[in-house]
Amino acid sequence: MIFNSPALSYSLLAPILIILAGALIGVLIEAFVGKARRPVVQLSVALGSLVLALVQVIRIRNLSSTTAAMGSVVIDGPGLLFQCAILIVAVISIFLIADQDNFTSSAAALPGSDEERQATQSGTVLTEIYPLTLFAVAGMLLFPIASDLITLFVALEVLSLPLYLMAGLSRHRRLASQEAALKYFLLGAFSSAFFLFGAAYLYGYAGTVSFAGIHAALVGGTGNDVILLLGIAFVAIGLLFKVGAVPFHAWSPDVYQGAPTPITGFMAAATKVAAFGAMLRLFYTVLAEAQWQWRPFFMVIAIITMIFGSLVAISQRDVKRMLAYSSIAHAGFLLTGVIALNKAGLEASIYYLFAYGVATVGAFGIVTLVRDSSGEVSDLNRWAGLGKRSPWVASAFAFFLLAFAGIPLTSGFIGKFAIFSAAYESGATAVVIVGVLSSVIAAFFYIRVIVLMFFTDATEDGTSVVIPSILTRLTILISLVITVALGVFPSPLLDFIKPLAIFIR
């Protein structure tokens, strides 16, 4: 028996490997470094590995390969762009995560118990969050470049499992946080089962789990269509769940609200990039020839998602839930990019994902700042008058909201324009019109928050804005600068994306 050593192309996989290494070092640090020094060391390691990975991604940006890791992954332009976006979002988020006030000091302790109180008083901080984040990032990096169903599934789980845990680590309102974790986990597992089942059918149809093989089978057109369609449908359900498309969205408001805010921000932004990355690859490269079967379904889902997200967001009273519904609506907008199924759609989606991700982290960063004595205040009514007390914080939040609403001169506008024009180009006029109309509805609730912050007088209670730590400040500032820059001068990024945004099979 001849044993070929696998050709792994380490340099191409390096970003993922670096992150994984960082994560493992993090685990070791938990074991060997003293409590007092852990936070700084962990942060340095996490940040270092993220930056290193980012540098590596940029270094290999012009390479492409279909054979890395024995064909389990594809290294191509879009994949690297997604990785770039994920890493940048992660870097920004890590500053936010480093602001430890948000996390419970002892995840194992009962909420409200003496044990918990002691841990908090002794200044114990939760540093496990860093390796967890890095593991999730590793999964996310793998997700959009996976090129067979096994890798895709493994990546899905690698990115999900740490997030399930991280969702339960909030310092305040711990019961809610744990509930969020439970819901996220159960529903996530449920949807993974769908995904896996769909994957089985795709395998059954094509006789192979590799994307290239499935594509070849599809082009050959010999297999059983019902099996193919069931496969596509169930795999899609798994992915649509991750991006929060209606009717697979139900977890997101609850989880967004319950999870620690920095995690919500990270999850909302990075997961979306990763999941859409995988979805775009799957549907653009593998299943494009079956578009007549799946596009109608996607159109319906996109339309429902945009309208539902926008409508329900209007009546939200909690800022995190409101942002959750907003992210559902944005999932709908992003789905139009999948529907577009053309190069413009791919470029637009990448741009949109990046712009949206950055703004999201920034917005959640601001949410962490608004507090009263018992912690974060996400009740919108108590945000009233924020503009008077902390004009800069409120203005920054307003700016992010305007970006979400797609007002010109913010990054959101360029993204929306690009993605809608791509969808229109592909003939999905109805989706574009619904998208435009639901943008109006969406604008309504963003504006409502702005009104609340700027034009409504504060209630008597003591909601205040904490002076942001340098790290949080960094998060918000970087997000803000990127959001403005992408709104006014989107060209550099667009030009960067353009030559790279070509999938290879």
Residues 346-365 that bind another protein (CB under 8 A): 347
Q: Is 293 in the site for another protein (CB under 8 A)?
A: yes
Nearest distance in Å: CB 343, another protein: 11
Q: What is the DSSP string of 215-265?
A: HHHHHHT-S-HHHHHHHHHHHHHHHHHHHT-TTS-THHHHHHHHS-HHHHH
Please, which residues bridge with residue 146 across strands? 73
According to CB under 8 A, which one of 181, 306, 322, 370 is a site residue for another protein?
A: 181
Site stretch for another protein (CB under 8 A), options 24-32, 60-68, 108-116, 277-285: 108-116
Q: Is 333 in the site for another protein (CB under 8 A)?
A: no
Question: Hey, which residues between 228 and 257 contact another protein (CB under 8 A)?
Answer: 229-230, 233-234, 236-237, 241, 247-248, 250-251, 253-254, 257
Tell which residue, 8, 160, 148, has the closest CA to residue 69: 8
Count interface residues toward another protein (CB under 8 A): 106
CB 91 within 8 A of CB 44: no
Q: Which residue has the tokens 């604008």?
A: 443
How far apart are the C-alpha atoms of 36 and 17, rounded to whole Å? 28
Q: Which residue has the tokens 């999938």?
A: 503
Tell which residue, 339, 299, 298, 329, has the closest CA to residue 422: 339
Residue type present at position 413: F
Q: Is 186 in the site for another protein (CB under 8 A)?
A: yes
Kindly tell me which of 180 and 341 has the beta carbon lying closer to another protein: 180
How far apart are the C-alpha atoms of 170 and 63, rounded to whole Å? 41
According to CB under 8 A, which one of 56, 106, 316, 327 is a site residue for another protein?
A: 316
Paired tokens of 392: 């800069």
According to CB under 8 A, which one of 143, 413, 428, 482 is a site residue for another protein?
A: 413
What SS3 state is found at 353?
helix
Give whole-number Cα distances, 258 to 116, 263, 378, in Å. 19, 10, 11
Quickly list H helices, 143-173: 149-166
Q: What's the start-to-end Cα distance of the chain, in Å? A: 31
Site stretch for another protein (CB under 8 A), options 25-33, 358-366, 475-483, 490-498: 490-498
Site stretch for another protein (CB under 8 A), options 10-18, 71-79, 189-197, 469-477: 189-197
How far apart are the C-alpha atoms of 111 and 243, rounded to whole Å? 31
According to CB under 8 A, which one of 10, 455, 461, 502 is a site residue for another protein?
A: 455
Question: Hey, which residues between 195 and 224 contact another protein (CB under 8 A)?
Answer: 196-197, 199-201, 203-204, 207-209
Nearest distance in Å: CB 315, another protein: 4
Please, which residues bridge with residue 376 across strands? 371
According to CB under 8 A, which one of 15, 77, 79, 168 is a site residue for another protein?
A: 168
Q: Per-residue x/- mask for another protein, residues 45 to 84, rule CB under 8 A?
A: ----------------------------------------
According to CB under 8 A, which one of 70, 451, 470, 481 is a site residue for another protein?
A: 451
Paired tokens of 260: 């620690």
Site stretch for another protein (CB under 8 A), options 42-50, 81-89, 178-186, 330-338: 178-186
Residue type present at position 118: Q
CB 344 within 8 A of CB 418: yes
Nearest distance in Å: CB 126, another protein: 14
Q: Is 140 in the site for another protein (CB under 8 A)?
A: no
According to CB under 8 A, which one of 15, 77, 144, 258 is a site residue for another protein?
A: 258
- DSSP-derived letter for residue 37 is T
Nearest distance in Å: CB 51, another protein: 28
